[in-house]
Chain A
Amino acid sequence: MKLVIAIIQPHKLEAVKRELEAVEVNLMTVTNVLGQGRQKGVTEIYRGAREAGGLLNKVRLDIAVNEDFVEPTIDAVTRGAHTGSVGDGKIFVVELAQCIRISSGERGGLAIG
């Protein structure tokens, strides 16, 4: 089991969801996050004072998958979120020790899908 964490441009969320549904990955948790990468945030101006380095809005998806689905998930997120310029985001893949479905008590691979 792996946990795929994707940080993407907020306006790409719908496209990424469509791509994930196409490869039958339907379960995910989505949050609004702030961050900066190579593009170094934005400059904001309040009453004439410039403030560099303001963090940018991003969307984070947490997707728990079984081993077979790791590569399709990565591909789907990439297809949906890619534009080719800085700021497209990143994907992290980490080991997942356990997964429990609260309603039924199922564990492991059964609980993920």
Chain B
Amino acid sequence: MALSLRYAKPKRNFLKEASIMNSGDTAWVLTASALVLLMTIPGLAFFYGGLVRRKNVLSILMQCFIIVCVISLQWVLFGYSLAFGPDFHGIIGTLEWAGLAGVGAAPNSNYAATIPHSAFMIFQAMFAIITPALIIGAYAERVKFPAFLLFTVLWATFVYDPLAHWVWGAGGWLKSLGGLDFAGGIVVHVSSGISALVLALLLGKRIGYNHKPIRPHNLPFTVLGAALLWFGWFGFNAGSALAADGLAATAFVNTNTATAAAGLAWALIEWRHNGSPTILGAATGAVAGLVAITPACGFVNPMNAMLIGIIVAFVCYAAVAVMKGKLGYDDSLDAFGVHGVGGTVGTLLTGIFAQKAINPAGADGLLFGNLHTFGIQCLMLVVTVVFAAIMTFIIFKIVDAAIGMRVEEKNEIIGLDLTQQSEAAYTVIE
């Protein structure tokens, strides 16, 4: 079965030809959509906003906010049709559903048979929004606003929409291979994380960056953002069951368990390694746990969810606190270190810990004697990494030639708030 198992829910179809609407399912998916919006604004906006210097906080909030505006419209105009519209040779959706033509109150049994098609569409819109927003962490504090806008629209259209079609769209070529990605570990986190790394390498370091994080200007913002991400992620993961049912509850429990384990593990690791448990560490660990459990949450048991949280804390800590410093690239807010690495860990561990006893529509992983699933997970990863990296490289070159991706040195030193938006976050004197 396919990656898109979350959309293939035959259980109620036998009642009457795929058009039995369920008010509980509809209510939950609409609620979950709002929860996923909360992840981007204010969740991610404050998580990232607190980590930058005070002269750049508004640029982060603006980028997150405008992505919500821009991608919401892109999705309605043509994005949803490209990703989920009628298939064209497994590669892309056609433009038949552009402007949401034919996407209305009637369910689409290819995706979710018990809720309005428009509910499925808006739930997916929130995923399309947060994915390019995650990349902000890589180019924070040094990107031109118009370049950011153009990059975001091109990336959403030429990376996210095709990838979403391959993995989730009816007829997508990866969908038939039989990998497991419950809520977007590959499409959302690996794709954005890898693109973040490519951008950080192409864009170069921030002025003054010297292998060490630049001091966060407001850690309470960051913790507030992380907590809102945790809260909203229940919509992201449990909502991906696309029904108010047992599978949604399983995903909910696994999400909370893995996140708690990763937050605690990260704090303990740095306590041992650096002498103090920090709140930034606990919050970062929790986000890494959320990322890693995303592909797995509908397929594993709670004890293995806990294990996934602990493992991802170790791997992401190594990536962020050890590897990044040694390699010297400036992934400003660790978009790659947390989302790219965490998404990869989660995708691989799903291939190990998945079990049919938890989700009969899923598959057994390596731990339950099935090598095939693990192989497919690896293949999906390679395809996503190569595709996202190459496309990001091309889009960067186009935008850089057209507008110039990076701000002038003088403007970077003054700060993006004043030079890109002509406003300041904090007044010092009345």
Residues of A within 8 A of B (CB): 44-51
**B274 and A46 contact, CB distance less than 8 A:** no
Cα distance A45–B219 when bound, in Å?
Answer: 12
- What does the 1/0 interface line of B279-294 toward A look like (CB < 8 Å)? 0110010000000000
Which of chain B's residues have a CB closer than 8 A to the CB of A51?
212, 215
Looking at chain B's contact residues, the main secondary structure is helix
**B215 and A48 contact, CB distance less than 8 A:** no
**A47 and B334 contact, CB distance less than 8 A:** yes
Cα distance A109–B270 when bound, in Å?
Answer: 58
**A47 and B215 contact, CB distance less than 8 A:** no
**A46 and B317 contact, CB distance less than 8 A:** no
Q: Within the complex, what minimum Cβ distance (angstroms) separates A46 from chain B?
A: 4
**A44 and B215 contact, CB distance less than 8 A:** yes
Cross-interface CB contact of A49 among B213, B276, B284, cutoff 8 Å:
B213
Cα distance A51–B212 when bound, in Å?
Answer: 8
**A45 and B216 contact, CB distance less than 8 A:** no
The verdict on B306 contacting chain A, using a C-beta distance below 8 Å, is no
The verdict on B320 contacting chain A, using a C-beta distance below 8 Å, is yes
Cross-interface CB contact of B320 among A44, A48, A50, cutoff 8 Å:
A48
**B321 and A49 contact, CB distance less than 8 A:** yes
Nearest CB to that of A54 among chain B residues?
A: B215
**B273 and A48 contact, CB distance less than 8 A:** yes
Which of chain B's residues have a CB closer than 8 A to the CB of A45?
270, 274-276, 278
Offer 14 A-B interface pairs, CB within 8 angstroms, sorted by A.
A44-B215, A45-B270, A45-B275, A45-B276, A46-B212, A46-B278, A47-B284, A47-B334, A48-B270, A48-B281, A48-B321, A48-B322, A49-B212, A51-B212
Nearest CB to that of B274 among chain A residues?
A: A45
How big is the B interface, by class?
Answer: 10 to 19
- What does the 1/0 interface line of B185-219 toward A look like (CB < 8 Å)? 00000000000000000000000000011011000
Which of chain A's residues have a CB closer than 8 A to the CB of B215?
44, 46, 51
Residues of B within 8 A of A (CB): 212-213, 215-216, 270, 273-276, 278, 280-281, 284, 317, 320-322, 325, 334
Which of chain A's residues have a CB closer than 8 A to the CB of B274?
45, 48, 50
* Besides the known contacts A47-B213, A48-B270, A49-B213, 4 further A-B residue pairs in the complex with CB atoms under 8 A apart: A47-B284, A48-B273, A49-B325, A51-B215
Cα distance A50–B275 when bound, in Å?
Answer: 10
Which of chain B's residues have a CB closer than 8 A to the CB of A47?
213, 280-281, 284, 320-321, 334
Cα distance A47–B285 when bound, in Å?
Answer: 10
Closest 9 CB pairs of A and B: A48-B321, A46-B213, A49-B212, A45-B274, A47-B320, A49-B213, A47-B213, A45-B278, A47-B321
Cα distance A29–B320 when bound, in Å?
Answer: 44
Cα distance A45–B317 when bound, in Å?
Answer: 13
Cross-interface CB contact of A46 among B216, B273, B275, B322, cutoff 8 Å:
B216
Q: Within the complex, what minimum Cβ distance (angstroms) separates B12 from chain A?
A: 46
Could you say which of A44, A46, A47, A50 has the most chain B C-beta atoms within 10 Å of its C-beta? A47
Which of chain B's residues have a CB closer than 8 A to the CB of A48?
270, 273-274, 281, 317, 320-322
Which of chain B's residues have a CB closer than 8 A to the CB of A49?
212-213, 321, 325
Q: Within the complex, what minimum Cβ distance (angstroms) separates A76 from chain B?
A: 30
Nearest CB to that of A46 among chain B residues?
A: B213
Which of chain A's residues have a CB closer than 8 A to the CB of B212?
46, 49, 51
Cα distance A44–B219 when bound, in Å?
Answer: 13
Q: Within the complex, what minimum Cβ distance (angstroms) separates B330 from chain A?
A: 13
Cα distance A48–B318 when bound, in Å?
Answer: 9
Which of chain A's residues have a CB closer than 8 A to the CB of B270?
45, 48
Cα distance A44–B215 when bound, in Å?
Answer: 9
Cα distance A65–B276 when bound, in Å?
Answer: 45
Cα distance A45–B274 when bound, in Å?
Answer: 8
Which of chain A's residues have a CB closer than 8 A to the CB of B278?
45-46
Nearest CB to that of B318 among chain A residues?
A: A48
Which of chain A's residues have a CB closer than 8 A to the CB of B280?
46-47
Q: Within the complex, what minimum Cβ distance (angstroms) separates B341 from chain A?
A: 13
Cα distance A49–B337 when bound, in Å?
Answer: 14
Could you say which of B213, B215, B216 has the most chain A C-beta atoms within 10 Å of its C-beta? B213
Cα distance A47–B216 when bound, in Å?
Answer: 10
Which of chain B's residues have a CB closer than 8 A to the CB of A44?
215
Cα distance A50–B212 when bound, in Å?
Answer: 8
Q: Within the complex, what minimum Cβ distance (angstroms) separates B429 from chain A?
A: 13
Which of chain B's residues have a CB closer than 8 A to the CB of A50?
274
Which of chain A's residues have a CB closer than 8 A to the CB of B322?
48
Nearest CB to that of B269 among chain A residues?
A: A48
Which of chain B's residues have a CB closer than 8 A to the CB of A46?
212-213, 215-216, 278, 280
Could you say which of A44, A49, A51 has the most chain B C-beta atoms within 10 Å of its C-beta? A49
Cα distance A48–B325 when bound, in Å?
Answer: 10
Could you say which of A44, A46, A49 has the most chain B C-beta atoms within 10 Å of its C-beta? A46
Cα distance A47–B270 when bound, in Å?
Answer: 9
